[in-house]
Amino acid sequence: MLTAVPLPAPMPLLRFATARFAPATLAAAAGLLMAVPARAAMTLDQACTTFASKVNAAVASGDLTKARKIYAEGNKRVASRFNGATCPDVKAP
């Protein structure tokens, strides 16, 4: 005759995974973050080129409201990041 043997209660998976793998996962994540090089600073010329291309794309799409919004926000962004500098080659739409 077979008798039932009680089994221990299963450990919740989350607690098991956290207890076993959290330190290794955190260490690996920290290593990956440290391995990613910092993005190089953008020059004013690069910022103006990017700004002009976004304005031109909006104008080409025919959405002048969007183009004006991009122009206004772009001017503010360039001025704030480059001590009040502007992009004189980028004309308002």
Please check whether residue 32 lies inside any domain of the structure.
no
Please check whether residue 93 lies inside any domain of the structure.
no
Please check whether residue 15 lies inside any domain of the structure.
no
DSSP state for residue 88 in the 8-state scheme: T
pLDDT digits (tens, 9 = 90+) for 47-87: 999 999 999 999 999 999 999 999 999 999 999 999 999 99
pLDDT digits (tens, 9 = 90+) for 4-20: 667 676 666 555 555 55
pLDDT beyond 60 at 21: no
- Total count of domains within the chain: 1
Distance of CA 62 to the CA centre of its chain: 28
Please check whether residue 6 lies inside any domain of the structure.
no
Which range of residues forms the domain containing residue 62?
44-81
Mean pLDDT along residues 29-49: 71
- What is the reported pLDDT for 16? 53
Please check whether residue 10 lies inside any domain of the structure.
no
Please check whether residue 38 lies inside any domain of the structure.
no
Inter-CA distances, 25 with 12, 19, 30, 81, Å: 19, 11, 9, 36
Please check whether residue 69 lies inside any domain of the structure.
yes
Please check whether residue 55 lies inside any domain of the structure.
yes
pLDDT band at 42 (very low <50, low <70, confident <90, very high): confident
Q: Are 86 and 75 in contact (CB under 8 A)?
A: yes
